[in-house]
Amino acid sequence: MKSDAVKRLLASPVSFLADSGPDEDIAISSRIRLARNLRGYPFPCAAEPEQLTEVCDLVSAAANASGSLGCPDCFSFDMAELPVVDREILLERRLASRDFIDHPEGSRLLVRSDESCSIMINEEDQLRIQVLAPGFQLDKVWKTINALDDELAAHLDYAFDDQLGYLTCCPTNVGTGMRASVMLHLPGLVMTNKITATIHGINKLNLAVRGIFGEGSDNQGNLFQVSNQVTLGETESGIVENLSQVIRQLITHEKAARVQLLERDQASLLDHVGRSYGILRHSYKLSSKEALNCLSGLRVGVDMGLFNNVDIHRVNEMFLTIHPAHLQKNAGRTLSSAERDVVRAAYCRSQLAK
């Protein structure tokens, strides 16, 4: 059953959180998505139900034939068959987009068992191929997804134009069809009031800054996703290198901001970390937003060596498992907003008591 597959997914550690990666104190994860469509088939927004089904089957067959996702041992979810809470689980684990789970008809999700690679079939485009890795590893992610794309292309006829490149539903994705991004934890820039100027500077470089769940999501927990905006007329390697240069600068600025706080306003920094820990360790009601912000404060303390009994990977997992769908799935029942706040607080207390 599909629900059993979601349970198996929850039982496995999330590779991009459980493993360590370069600059993991600031760079949480690196991700690249490729938009692809099949020649001879209309984009999903204009396709008939039977055409959507045919595309799902073609892409699944290509994934099986290539072995690119470890199929047949990969996870396969027909989105329309999943309960709402299970679809939200996939969003919270960054395997699916909001638009994908809100419009599940005729769509399918393929996921490698360690969740590092996945394909959304019939989202905005017929294929949204994704690779995720911990820390700041854009070069590694690009090599992995490039090989994955080549393996699939050997079994699929992509819609490609010699002048324009890969053809996509949205004109902003035409060309490489690539969206590369890095999730960063930037509390130092926020606490030193430099984050607004930093975001404005990034936007001038044709890069986008979004929240934890990408486009349309707000910043919570001082987590920011920085990604390219231009694909037409660019090369994949050029996109990766340009974004990497900006990420390196952001990491340098964030480290400098933390040092500034430690040297010039140590009391405020320690108060922020201490209050964050205290709320997580002793509260009996916690909203999602408050928990994320407190986890951000706790993570700063762990990153700067202020705790010797809190593991960074446990904190990373908590960033994921405090979200509503994970709480409800683990509780085994639907929870009201007020009930979730109580369960979330109990979960945080138990994790920090270990």
The reported pLDDT for the residue numbered 1 is 46
The yes-or-no verdict on residue 218 having pLDDT over 80 is no
Q: What average pLDDT does this structure show over 337-344? A: 97
Which segments of the chain does DSSP mark as H helices, in order? 2-11, 15-18, 49-66, 84-92, 98-102, 138-153, 187-191, 195-204, 236-264, 266-282, 288-303, 312-321, 324-331, 337-353
Cα 331 to Cα 354: distance, rounded to the nearest angstrom:
20
Q: Do 59 and 105 sit in the same domain of this protein?
A: yes
Q: Do 197 and 337 sit in the same domain of this protein?
A: no
Q: Do 172 and 246 sit in the same domain of this protein?
A: yes
Q: Do 206 and 112 sit in the same domain of this protein?
A: yes
Q: Do 248 and 318 sit in the same domain of this protein?
A: no
Q: Do 80 and 166 sit in the same domain of this protein?
A: yes
The yes-or-no verdict on residue 41 having pLDDT over 50 is yes
- For the chain, how many structural domains are there in total? 2
Q: Do 234 and 274 sit in the same domain of this protein?
A: no
The neighbour count for residue 49, using CB atoms within 10 Å, is 9
Least confident of 17-21, 77-81, 92-96, 151-155: 17-21
The reported pLDDT for the residue numbered 71 is 77
Cα 278 to Cα 299: distance, rounded to the nearest angstrom:
13
pLDDT digits (tens, 9 = 90+) for 253-297: 999 999 999 999 999 999 999 999 999 999 999 999 999 999 999
Q: Do 154 and 93 sit in the same domain of this protein?
A: yes
Asked if residues 55 and 343 have their Cβ atoms less than 8 Å apart, the reply is no
pLDDT digits (tens, 9 = 90+) for 143-176: 999 999 999 999 999 999 999 999 999 998 999 9
Q: Which of 258, 282, 297 is the endpoint of a domain? A: 258
Q: What average pLDDT does this structure show over 191-218? A: 82
Cα 67 to Cα 263: distance, rounded to the nearest angstrom:
52
Question: Which residue is listed with tokens 């690196």?
Answer: 30
| Residue-range definition of the domain harbouring residue 276 | 266-353
Cβ burial 86-95 (10 Å sphere, 16+ → b, else e): bbbbbbbbbb
Q: Do 39 and 183 sit in the same domain of this protein?
A: yes
Q: Do 215 and 134 sit in the same domain of this protein?
A: yes
The yes-or-no verdict on residue 19 having pLDDT over 70 is no
